[in-house]
Structure 1
Amino acid sequence: MPHQYIKKILTSRVYEAAVETPLDEAPNLSGKLKNRVLLKREDLQPVFSFKIRGAYNKLANLTDDERARGVICASAGNHAQGLAMAASLMGVKATIVMPKPTPDIKVNAVKARGGKAVLHGDTFDEALAYALRQVEEKGYVFIHPYDDPYTIAGQGTIGMEILRQESGPINAIFIPVGGGGLAAGIAVYIKYLRPEIRIIAVESEESACLKAAMEAGERVVLPQVGIFADGIAVAQIGEHTFELCRQYVDEFITVSTDEICAAIKDIFDDTRSITEPAGATALAGLKKYVAREGIEGETLIAIDSGANMNFSRLRYVAERTDLGEKSEALLAVKLPERPGSFRQFCMTLGKRNVTEFNYRYADASTAHVFAGISIGKNGQGKDELLRDLQDNGFEVVDLSDDEMAKLHIRYMIGGQAREITNEVLYRFEFPERPGALLRFLNKFGQRYNVSMFHYRNHGAADGRVLVGMQVEPGEREALLKSMDELGYPYWEVTDNLAYKLFLR
């Protein structure tokens, strides 16, 4: 099988649409990590993503009859733009089915590149089902975003370029994984010619479908997929791609949202370009690998796979970067409610920088403070900070890894509602579409008192919502049934420590 793919990669017609992207050294990162770090700049493609390679190669290998029938796909991301451009260059009619909540910037990008954008359904699954119906009814050729040999081969040309651009020793290549087309194509080529190079697949913790498949020994469907790194938010690894990854990928690493945000900043610092979350995922894995292995003086390559970032997400990325770098700690500190206690707290911090301080008087004896404190590189100063605070008589809780505290509580500090009884707390992911909030309120607002509500738009397909409701114990079962009927993903967080300290 590798010979089949090597031939397809070597004969791919990607350069009729794509460009050979540079393999740039990242001097700041290299110095910080004590290794030679190179970035494969697929963010510099005409559609700001590697997807143009596979889409064009697939179209180039269709028959004349298939091209005459027109092509179709379901996508709200980089595949949509890649296919639209590829089809336009070949004079092929392309229909791109996108969910209705797709941001205008992506819809307009498809139209600008010659594709026909059709908005259908509220979710990707509904858009995909519609696209497949059009295949049956109108005879269009469906172009899969990753699970096709010609698409895989098109992405594999990146591996070919890397070996041409860097002839010296390479310790490892880090590749982001969603459906697996990019990793499969690069891995099969690299391992065929340079088997000593480690191929490391990197996934978001929220969508680690390859990790789940490798552990199960077969393809599995994730019950839920996080949407921050939307370019790799895939519930199931591809059939072709899984077989190739299982043979040629040496290991997989998962990274958190905060680690991806930190990697976005790292790339910006070295290139002055802003990559999308999926595009920075490989670098986040590279940094985690270096920290784990303690290696120095090696050449390491990360695939910067794309730069289609929604501008509105930059605020969220900036907020989470210091946590991803582990250079900031979020703490809940109990201060005695007496004159001079805040001064004593600041004196204990010494020269450490306070990045955030939230406080509101609660009672006559104690105050709970939500504080962000700079702690230096890689969290090395956190233990010393906690020890200093405890030695000076402060009760302190580390909230740096508490997702609810980072996403909601830090913006809601304002005192506790002591008159609220029977309050239960849930986190929801709302679809970002008109009427989603009203649908929720129609379901619950007339039956239960909504005692707390927090929502912030992060420029993603789903909104993160924190809801408190007053529910009598005997009504809990009915509440759960109603939430299941609503169909929005949810988690109960009534026992969350940050909530207990600051809001309950």
Structure 2
Amino acid sequence: MTNAAVDDAMLAMREIFPETPLQLNEHLSRRFGADIWLKREDLSPVRSYKIRGAFNFLRKAIATAGSGRVFVCASAGNHAQGFAFVCRHFEVHGVVFMPVTTPQQKIDKTRMFGGEFITIRLVGDIFDQCYAAARTYVEETGGMLVPPFDHADIIEGQATVAAEIAAQLPEGVTPDLVIMPVGGGGLSSGMTGYLGPRLGDDAFLMVEPQGAPSLKQSLIAGHAVTLAKVDNFVDGAAVARIGELNFAALSRFPESQVMAVPENAICVTITEMLNIEGVVLEPAGALSLTALASLDPAAVRGKTVVAVVSGGNFDFERLPDVKERAMRFAGLKKYFILRLAQRPGALRDFLNLLGDEDDIARFEYLKKSARNFGSILIGIETARPENFAALLQRFETAGLGYEDITDNEILANLII
């Protein structure tokens, strides 16, 4: 990949969509005492940057082999939507393989973007089964697989994000820090390749979800590794194995330049940006801003920072779960198992322990643990995190038996 080739791809891209905005965000700039610029990939036609790689891949493939081939992709999210949009633009037939478990909203959006040029096939319960079916289809039909990240033309297409940033920054302004999300590595390898020579490698911070740190673990190991377990909450970046070409491009970075942020912290970012700025972010799209909030404030203060907002395809049916996770991470909500005496007035005595800013959000009797005592699941919300320290002290003083299960992943998944 050369910068000249990326610039050519960027110019060619203007035939299907204008450059996405690079916006100085006043709220974040005041909060961190810095100039915080947001590259708004959530404002592309498909609400993510994935349209770029798909466009560049098909543009080159059609120029080389013509438009008679069938193009194929496997995706349950943003790659499928970008692929579908580009197939319709070039008027070529595309087949999109999606897991049977894909939400109907994503299926409908992919169909809307592709129209009559797209066929959707639902195969398998998980992505690996879907991807295997796509590869088999390609082998049987002679079609061309359009990968989500592990291909030179995809990387080159995603690098146009960096080319636009370089062109959009005011004259004389140079970023001290560029923060970008990492999933399979297409965006990060393209952007660091384009901006690295002018900014230096120390200017980059790459961000992964804590439940899918494929790049960080690969850098630690010295080679690409496959994660044994992946948390799929950040579905746009939950990748078990970094791409081979992508890792080769990123292997020069120390693992300290990759930050893994907790999924619940990402939920705080989503809710804050929605409530304060009116910006809708998907979990992967919130990765960069979550990292910004996790940095030492002194490392950001007075600096010029560019953060890539990579996508805004958020399903609002997930909002209650996002709010729940955000409150738990912020220390505003906790769950307890209480051991309460089975006698008249026991519940009233417990309620008298609550403070003025404490509210019961869930109350459920569980099975009895002994003849004279019963177990209760209770969820408590409060206005300020420090309220819980005082509440627990009152629990102790009253001799109330309790267990805080807020961060117990096994119990939380079973009963919360």
Tell me how far apart the structure 2 counterparts of residues 358 and 221 of structure 1 sit (CA, whole Å). 41
1:22–1:41 contact (8 Å) kept in structure 2 = yes
Q: 1:348: how far off?
A: 4.4
> Which residue of 2 is the match for residue 22 of structure 1?
21
Q: 1:101: how far off?
A: 2.5
Secondary structure of the corresponding residue to residue 222 of structure 1: coil
1:56 paired with 2:59, answer no
Letter in 2 for 1:289: L
Secondary structure of the corresponding residue to residue 324 of structure 2: helix
1:373 paired with 2:370, answer no
> Which residue of 2 is the match for residue 398 of structure 1?
404
Tell me how far apart the structure 2 counterparts of residues 394 and 34 of structure 1 sit (CA, whole Å). 45
Q: 1:340: how far off?
A: 5.7
> Which residue of 2 is the match for residue 477 of structure 1?
none
> Which residue of 2 is the match for residue 499 of structure 1?
none
Question: Any gaps of 5 or more consecutive residues in structure 1?
Answer: 411-504
Q: 1:342: how far off?
A: 4.8
Distance 1:402 1:127, change over 3 A: same
2:365–2:374 contact (8 Å) kept in structure 1 = no
1:329–1:375 contact (8 Å) kept in structure 2 = no
Q: Which stretch of the first structure deviates more once superposed, 43-52 or 388-397?
A: 388-397
Q: 1:67: how far off?
A: 3.1
> Which residue of 2 is the match for residue 194 of structure 1?
199
> Which residue of 2 is the match for residue 447 of structure 1?
none
2:339–2:373 contact (8 Å) kept in structure 1 = no
Q: 1:42: how far off?
A: 0.8
Secondary structure of the corresponding residue to residue 232 of structure 1: coil
1:26–1:271 contact (8 Å) kept in structure 2 = no
Find runs of 4+ consecutive structure 1 residues off by over 6 angstroms.
Answer: none
Q: 1:72: how far off?
A: 1.2
Question: Any gaps of 5 or more consecutive residues in structure 2?
Answer: none
Distance 1:367 1:55, change over 3 A: closer
1:145 paired with 2:142, answer no
Distance 1:355 1:183, change over 3 A: farther
Which of 310, 317, 320 is 1:315 aligned to?
Answer: 320
> C-alpha deviations, 1:85-113, integer Å up to 9, x for none?
11221222222122223222222222222
Q: 1:223: how far off?
A: 1.8
> Which residue of 2 is the match for residue 41 of structure 1?
40
1:390–1:396 contact (8 Å) kept in structure 2 = no
> C-alpha deviations, 1:412-441, integer Å up to 9, x for none?
xxxxxxxxxxxxxxxxxxxxxxxxxxxxxx
1:14–1:54 contact (8 Å) kept in structure 2 = no
> Which residue of 1 is the match for residue 372 of structure 2?
364
Distance 1:236 1:354, change over 3 A: same
Tell me how far apart the structure 2 counterparts of residues 73 and 365 of structure 1 sit (CA, whole Å). 58
Distance 1:18 1:185, change over 3 A: farther
Tell me how far apart the structure 2 counterparts of residues 332 and 256 of structure 1 sit (CA, whole Å). 25
Distance 1:295 1:10, change over 3 A: closer
TM-score normalized with structure 1 length: 0.72
> C-alpha deviations, 1:245-281, integer Å up to 9, x for none?
2225761111222112111112212432322222112
Q: 1:382: how far off?
A: 4.5
Letter in 2 for 1:326: G
Q: 1:219: how far off?
A: 0.7
> Which residue of 2 is the match for residue 113 of structure 1?
113
Counting matched residue pairs gives 404
Letter in 2 for 1:302: A
Secondary structure of the corresponding residue to residue 16 of structure 1: coil
Tell me how far apart the structure 1 counterparts of residues 28 and 380 of structure 2 sit (CA, whole Å). 25
2:204–2:257 contact (8 Å) kept in structure 1 = yes
Tell me how far apart the structure 2 counterparts of residues 35 and 333 of structure 1 sit (CA, whole Å). 46
> Which residue of 1 is the match for residue 183 of structure 2?
178
Distance 1:76 1:394, change over 3 A: same
Alpha-carbon RMSD across the aligned residues, in angstroms, is 2.8
Q: Which stretch of the first structure deviates more once superposed, 242-251 or 330-339?
A: 330-339
> C-alpha deviations, 1:465-497, integer Å up to 9, x for none?
xxxxxxxxxxxxxxxxxxxxxxxxxxxxxxxxx
Secondary structure of the corresponding residue to residue 61 of structure 1: helix
Tell me how far apart the structure 2 counterparts of residues 204 and 217 of structure 1 sit (CA, whole Å). 20
> C-alpha deviations, 1:130-183, integer Å up to 9, x for none?
222232222212111101112112111212222333343534222221111011
